[in-house]
Structure 1
Amino acid sequence: MRVPSPLPRGLIGACVVAASSLVTSVVPQSSWVASLPVASVLRHSLAGRMTGLAFMVFGLGLMVWAWLAVGREVLSGVRHRLIPLTVAWSVPLLLAPPLFSRDAWSYAAQGALVAEGFDPYAVGPGALTGPVVEAVDPMWMATPAPYGPLPLAYGGLAARLTLDPYVLMLAHRALAVLGIVLIAWAVPRIAVACRVNPPIATWLVVANPVLITHGLGAAHNDVLMLGLACTAFAVALRGHWGTAAVIAGAAAAVKAPGGLVVIAIAAVMSPLAGRAFQRLASLAIAGAISVLTLVTIGELTGVGSGWLGALDVPGLVRSPLSIANLIGMGASGLLDWLGAEDAAVQALQLVRLLGILTALGLIAVLGLRSHIHQAARAVGIAMLAVVLLGPTAHDWYFLWCLPFLAVARPGRRLITALVGVSLILTIAAPLNSSLRGAVVPILVTTSLVLLVVGTLLGHLRTLQPVPEEASKQVPEKVRRKVPATAG
């Protein structure tokens, strides 16, 4: 039997994922999805949910397989129309329920809080009643919003038009679409400046199934934050660092880590390494503009800056993806076993604090010492430090560092690592909090995930990254458009 080419293979996979989400995703009981004839029957039985999960893993496997096949050709110099391909793989997910996470329902409820006159930084979605809170994770019902004023103000505007949670979720998915468009515009331009072949960077980032499924499919506002951060870097490389700093402030107004792109902007302002005072001045100026933008957005939207006091809310999740969490939970468990219960409670908080301080120290070093040729890598490492050393981490947080590492002149090992992590995080995505406490689905889905991951990992050996040679393929007329000074 002839195997479909990558584009239809990925499209079929995306359609399977979208269809499976009608069974596996958590949706409001009053929504149209909950009453679909076949899907509603399947979602209310263990056998039906397991069937949906099996098809979900199968569809994700098809998408990753297609992406790897395209990458093998892109890395060998074959031209691909990557943007149309990404669009084709994304379209089936546009109207689907949120994948792998219930955050989009929280976004809808938080927007409704704004529309109803509540302070989303003082109360949680539990202050509301009705369909808009039906699918919100109970963990977040009483917690304030940890997001910046931009998505909340936008959500408030949408909620003034309708309180239908599904429509509000789609409105927030539109922000994810905007984020992907910004990433697709910025990444090739940054790649040219970094002397990396744009198609390789575009394949690694824009066509990446992690961005399509976790970013677009789950409608996370991290994608808009990332799109604005990438745009800020690209604009700075064109010499407009003031505008770039304003855009960086807008990125931070979505989620705080977006402001870390100021490191790259400062490197553009003072490109020489070793001049600490000059770099400090650049960081101070760019940072001040970004903070002023952030505060202004909060005031103009009427949402304010109360979200700074809610930044610890995501830390309620003890994610094993955070190194600080792993060490803290290990120390806490050991102390609890030894009978030191009070010390066990404090151990996790202490380790998390040390992790945050370590991340901040690393960010300070990167900001002061990284020269312009390492600007992209510095931002990528800073983002990665926040993810791994912060109080919590989710699989989609990997997106934060992906674009910056992908344009940092990645060698064979880094490309293989980025591809491997993307593969695993995509296939393992169904193992999320929606399976919490469901022993049988967890065991069966884990087995399926291990089987598909094991099969696809063998394809990594067929990838032959040649970034050094590929960089020579960048057309000279394209190189002249962007300063080639920011590797």
Structure 2
Amino acid sequence: MRLNPRWLGLAATTLLALSGFLAGKPLPHDAAWVTGVVVWFVALLLLARAWWSLRGVTAPRELLVTAAIWSAPLLVAPPMGALDVYAYACQGQLFDAGINLYEHGPSALPCTWLSEVPPLWRDTPTPYGPLWFALSGGVAWLAHGHLIVAVGLFRLLAILGLVLCVAAAHRLTDGNAVLAASPLVLIHVVSGVHNDILLAGFLLTAFAFATRGRSGATGAAVGLAAAVKITALVAAPFAVLLVFFRAGGPCRRAPFGFTAALLATYAVLAAATGHGLGFLRALGSTAELKQWLSIPTGVGMAAGYVLRAAGRPAAFDTAVAVARALGFVVLAVLLLILWWRAARTARRSPAEALDPVLTAAGLALLATAVLGPVFYAWYALAGIALLAGTHLTGRLRTGVHVAVVALPFLTLPDSLGLATKTKLPGALLDVALVVTLLARLVRRPARRSQTPELTD
């Protein structure tokens, strides 16, 4: 008898919740922790199977009801996949105490819940934006010292961000509501409570405004997204394309209205919170982390391992730094290519520009995530959310669906990532990936030159 995917998914998320209670803390030698990790991967496999069966469903109501049913067990379980929500709560306390979050970590107060924050983040400044600090401060104030209340309020914010994504995607292109029930969203939004989903919601709303030629509202929405995480600005040039070409276009005043609204929104929030451009200093707070999920970092690690074997261990950090610098160069070129292609399409056919421009913006955010110095699974949320606002087809649709299923497998319920335990194999995998991509780029012009030209 074939089990209904909806109930298979509910069984999977129930098991995921159980794994959170068993392995919510990193105790590698504890039997409960080991059992919890086993349950975690079994549950992820079941959830992947259930969600894959629903990919062809297009009825938004059915999909959203399924997402709500699957989310229920996770709402009463501890945060899983990452423990960043505890750091969010502590950042809120620091904000309420008037401490500059771009200069101090949770231990500066010290935070009431400092013991729950992973040691890595206790002394680390945060690069988030002023809107997120204000929201975190409001949560900490309302929680009044009760961590479970703080976690619940942050979950509410995450779910509101998800609702904003679904509503904006539906307005854009009757977008892919099936992603609301995807493993990536369930693990890293409903359970893990990452603020990336709020950023994604503001960006999708910005593109929805852009399709109607509302340059000021578009800029304000992007400003709100940037005030959560500054990486939202990667999508700004693509939003400008839509307001320029779709506001009865081309409308030469639209980019100025967009830019003014964006800057004004961010400036007001920065002034109100007392947190301006300090994020520029705090952006390097994660640079000490070296894990192969970032492709440039992985390639640098592989080179560093070779240098170590050659008797030059001190050169490891240098190899990683050089590879990361090259990664930024590659990223800049990719972003320029994506924008240029989107601009050409929008200029040729303004009425059909939405899908290609939004697709380019989503790919730009994904490229920024994987080519940055550090990558975590939830960094892909914003890019995938933008792609979900398009009419996904072909290989891109398959790639997105594979990503939302596969990315949760990179983390454990207690937030420890598999990347920390597979450094050498992962670094070699990155090298193999880069070599494969370069080989394909070299072969493509060769194939074109070998294609016989048609003659009359």
TM-score, normalised with respect to structure 1: 0.77
Q: Matched residues in 2 for 1:152 and 1:359: separation?
A: 28
Deviation track 1:220-272 (CA, whole Å, cap 9, x = no partner) reads 11111111111111121122221011011100110112223323321112339
Question: Does structure 1 retain, via aligned residues, the 8 Å contact 2:411–2:418?
Answer: no
Distance 1:431 1:10, change over 3 A: closer
Cα deviation, residue 285, structure 1: 5.1
Question: Does structure 1 retain, via aligned residues, the 8 Å contact 2:130–2:269?
Answer: yes
**What is the DSSP-based 3-state SS (H/G/I as helix, E as strand, rest coil) of the residue aligned with 1:81?**
helix
Partner of 2:307: 335
Moved more, 110-119 or 167-176: 167-176
Partner of 1:259: 233
Q: Matched residues in 1 for 2:271 and 2:70: separation?
A: 39
Partner of 2:91: 110
Question: Does structure 2 retain, via aligned residues, the 8 Å contact 1:25–1:100?
Answer: no
Distance 1:387 1:281, change over 3 A: farther
Cα deviation, residue 23, structure 1: 1.7
Q: Does 1:207 align with 2:181?
A: yes
Q: Matched residues in 2 for 1:282 and 1:364: separation?
A: 21
Q: Matched residues in 1 for 2:107 and 2:244: separation?
A: 48
Q: Matched residues in 2 for 1:348 and 1:427: separation?
A: 25
Cα deviation, residue 297, structure 1: 0.9
Within-5 A mapping of 1:37-436: 46-72=30-56, 74=57, 81-129=62-110, 131-161=112-142, 162-192=144-174, 198=175, 201-203=176-178, 205-271=179-245, 286-341=258-313, 343-371=315-343, 372=346, 373=353, 374-430=356-412, 433-434=415-416
Partner of 2:21: 22
Question: Does structure 1 retain, via aligned residues, the 8 Å contact 2:23–2:37?
Answer: yes
Deviation track 1:412-469 (CA, whole Å, cap 9, x = no partner) reads 3222222222222234432775378998xx9xxxxxxxxxxxxxxxxxxxxxxxxxxx
Deviation track 1:336-389 (CA, whole Å, cap 9, x = no partner) reads 333445544322112212212332333234334413322111101211210121
Distance 1:79 1:171, change over 3 A: closer
Cα deviation, residue 158, structure 1: 2.4
Partner of 2:5: 6
**Aligned residue identity for 2:336:** A
Moved more, 255-264 or 407-416: 407-416
Question: Does structure 1 retain, via aligned residues, the 8 Å contact 2:411–2:417?
Answer: no
Cα deviation, residue 126, structure 1: 1.4
Within-5 A mapping of 1:427-466: 427-430=409-412, 433-434=415-416
Deviation track 1:278-318 (CA, whole Å, cap 9, x = no partner) reads 89986565344323322221112233331222112233322
Q: Matched residues in 2 for 1:344 and 1:78: separation?
A: 52
Q: Matched residues in 1 for 2:296 and 2:251: separation?
A: 30
Cα deviation, residue 148, structure 1: 0.9
Unaligned runs of 5+ in 2: 347-352, 423-456
**What is the DSSP-based 3-state SS (H/G/I as helix, E as strand, rest coil) of the residue aligned with 2:55?**
helix
Distance 1:435 1:253, change over 3 A: closer
Distance 1:5 1:228, change over 3 A: same
Distance 1:304 1:12, change over 3 A: same
Cα deviation, residue 176, structure 1: 0.6
Distance 1:432 1:98, change over 3 A: closer
**Aligned residue identity for 1:387:** A
Question: Does structure 1 retain, via aligned residues, the 8 Å contact 2:13–2:71?
Answer: yes
Distance 1:91 1:433, change over 3 A: closer
**Aligned residue identity for 1:314:** T
Question: Does structure 2 retain, via aligned residues, the 8 Å contact 1:120–1:144?
Answer: yes
TM-score, normalised with respect to structure 2: 0.82
Partner of 1:40: none
Question: Does structure 2 retain, via aligned residues, the 8 Å contact 1:121–1:307?
Answer: yes
Question: Does structure 1 retain, via aligned residues, the 8 Å contact 2:80–2:415?
Answer: no
Question: Does structure 2 retain, via aligned residues, the 8 Å contact 1:232–1:261?
Answer: no
**Aligned residue identity for 1:49:** W
Partner of 1:31: none
Question: Does structure 2 retain, via aligned residues, the 8 Å contact 1:124–1:141?
Answer: yes
**Aligned residue identity for 1:106:** A
Deviation track 1:119-156 (CA, whole Å, cap 9, x = no partner) reads 11111111133641111111111110111111211111
**What is the DSSP-based 3-state SS (H/G/I as helix, E as strand, rest coil) of the residue aligned with 2:87?**
helix
Distance 1:365 1:390, change over 3 A: same
Question: Percent same amino acid among aligned pairs?
Answer: 30
